[in-house]
Chains A and B, each alone.
Chain A
Amino acid sequence: MKTIDKLITWSLLKSPWILHFNSGACNGCDIEIVDALTPKYDIERFGIVLKATPRHADVLVVSGPVTRQQAKRLKTIYEQMPDPKFVMAIGACGCSGGVFDGCYGVVPGGLDQVIPVSVYIPGCPVRPEAIIDGVVKMIQSVEAAAK
């Protein structure tokens, strides 16, 4: 592994920067994601920082089923992110379409029909604890792959 790659992996492990994208969710998962960032759960203590632009983000956190309107925008945002990049599918809708699977406004299947997904976090809505667990598992797998 080159030194630059080592540096990138190190910074990713120590402080993953996330971008939250609502691809058509009901807000349930979104408020739980924000909950995870606020004092009771406070995932900022693991170095996780919410970013405003895809160009600064390492992890794309997507909540909700992908609506047909949002599918191409989601792809653009994914392409704007620098490598290495990861995607977290939040909630039952992100994993499989959930209760909205089959609705005419929604891309059939889950988020992985549109962009590649690294971590699936099921739940309707997910609990903040589950989000923290998913983030930790993702970091662990990156760590294991780097060794």
Chain B
Amino acid sequence: MSKITIPLGPQHPALKEPENFMLVLEGEQISGATVNLGYNHRGMEKAAESRTYLQTMYLLERVCGICSHSHTTTYITNVEELAKAEIPQRALAIRTLIAELERVHSHLLWLGVAGYEMGFETLFMYTWRDREQVLDCLELLSGNRVHYSMNTIGGVRRDISIEQKAEVSRRIKFLEERTRYYIKIGTEEPTVAARTANVGMLPPAVALERGAVGPTARASGIARDVRKDEPYLIYDQLDFKLITHNTNDVFGRLVVRVLELVESYKMIHQILNNLPEGPIAVKVPMKIAPGEAVNRYEAPRGEDIHYLKSNGTDKPERVKVRAPTLANLQSVAYMLEGGWLADVPLVIAAIDPCMSCTDRASVWDPKKGKMALYGWEEMRKLGIEHYKKRGVNFSGL
């Protein structure tokens, strides 16, 4: 059978974000897939270098609207590490609370999108209606529905009152009941099983080789979770289970996320019941001593890594973000191959892609028709050559 190549994206009804997949088809079956990125590349890491530490926090919050708290928390943990600031326990607990509320909102959002992609629109409408409860919680605590800006360098911006605590636990109890219903749907509903079982297979060996993270890796039976491996914030004081599943398919990813919701509710109750007393923030100087820091964080989509280099001024010298979707995209190409065209949106959605976090500098050469992705070393080499032609030599630096 002859092969045809079709593009999926950057504007496609199944994709909520600009990204492009070139699919090589033999009839209905996919024989090869390439992922093209860069449609969402804005140049935030460079922009961060011209802003102060606090301004950079608000900029990095806008790396992604869904896991905004993840990015700010990882970034300011770096800043606080370099400034050697001692963060009050209450602030850490509030950060953890927001992080878990964010995970609940993100997983419910994913469940809805997955329902939409499998043609189960009722599930989409149900989960998005229930998701409003957790958005109301976040608005109550932070004042905003999506970009909470709860963090500030040295602690958190707002305290939690007794009334707010009661309201949050009331809403979470409601969600717990609804989640039991979703677990029932996810495991018993024949539509869900028919659309997700044995779709987008990712064997554990391939998941390890391609560096899958988060629920994508955990659904392939790999017990990998930064909250357990290298506890940050107050995760070492919380009692929760690491959820894994061994079916390696989209169904497994669904089960992992739904069961993680239950664990998150458990943690939210634990934090609300044992909120430490004390101040919520300490003062951190504007100028940060020179140094380097790296921190990891388990975002709803997987491991998020931030690198920060400071040079003694009030602006960072280098900020680097490794978002979880970038790690998971390598696996998507594997999952798509050999599958069916109709499953493509579902398989892509199953890693819960977030392109706004992911897009990197890439160069398209129209003459040669080649795409090249530039790393730090090559960018540096190019920069030195560029300035050499103009009579300045930076190679000694």
Chain A residues close to B by CB (< 8 Å): 21-32, 34-35, 38-40, 52-54, 65, 67, 69-70, 73, 77, 98-100, 102-106, 124-125, 127
Contacts and interface: CB of A to CB of B under 8 A. Distances in A.
Nearest to B124: A38
Given A67-B39, A69-B39, A31 B65 contact: yes
Contacts of A73: 10-11, 18, 39
Interface stretch (B125-133, B242-250, B381-389): B125-133
A25 B359 CA distance: 12
A38 B44 CA distance: 31
B43 A103 contact: yes
Given A23-B18, A67-B41, A70-B18, A102 B65 contact: no
Given A69-B18, A99-B59, A105-B41, 20 more contacts: A21-B11, A22-B17, A24-B40, A24-B41, A24-B42, A26-B356, A27-B17, A27-B66, A28-B68, A28-B146, A35-B135, A38-B129, A67-B39, A67-B40, A69-B10, A69-B39, A102-B47, A103-B42, A103-B47, A106-B43
Given A32-B146, A34-B128, A40-B129, A26 B43 contact: no
26 contacts: A22-B16, A22-B40, A24-B39, A25-B356, A26-B68, A27-B66, A28-B62, A31-B65, A35-B135, A38-B124, A39-B125, A40-B128, A53-B13, A54-B11, A73-B39, A99-B58, A100-B42, A100-B47, A102-B47, A103-B44, A105-B42, A105-B43, A106-B42, A125-B65, A125-B145, A125-B147
B329 interface: no
B132 A27 contact: no
Given A39-B125, A73-B11, A102-B47, A29 B65 contact: yes
B42 A67 contact: yes
Contacts of B128: 34-35, 38-40
Contacts of B112: 38
Query: A-B pairs with the 4 shortest C-beta distances?
Result: A28-B65, A52-B13, A38-B128, A27-B65
Nearest to A52: B13
A34 B18 CA distance: 16
Interface string B37-61: 0111111101100000000001100
Nearest to B13: A52
Contacts of B356: 24-27
A26 B16 CA distance: 11
A143 B10 CA distance: 34
Contact of B41 (A23, A31, A40, A69): A69
B297 to A, nearest CB: 18
B384 to A, nearest CB: 19
A125 B146 contact: yes
Interface residues of B, number: 36
A40 B10 CA distance: 29
A100 B111 CA distance: 30
A72 B239 CA distance: 51
A32 B354 CA distance: 15
Most chain B beta-carbon contacts within 10 A, residue among A22, A54, A65: A22
Interface in B101-160: 109, 112, 124-125, 128-129, 132, 135, 145-147
Contacts of B64: 26-27
Q: Is the interface of B mostly helix, strand, loop or mixed?
A: loop
A65 B39 CA distance: 12
Contacts of A35: 128, 132, 135
Interface in B326-369: 354, 356
Contacts of A23: 18
Contacts of B217: none
Contacts of A67: 18, 39-42
Given A38-B125, A67-B41, A26 B109 contact: no
A99 to B, nearest CB: 5
A99 B65 contact: no
Interface string B272-314: 0000000000000000000000000000000000000000000
Given A22-B18, A26-B62, A30-B65, A103 B46 contact: yes
Contacts of A125: 65, 145-147
B175 to A, nearest CB: 14
A28 B356 CA distance: 10
B38 A69 contact: yes
Nearest to B147: A28
A32 B138 CA distance: 14
B63 interface: yes
A100 B65 contact: no
A48 to B, nearest CB: 16
A23 B68 CA distance: 19
A93 to B, nearest CB: 8
B109 A70 contact: no
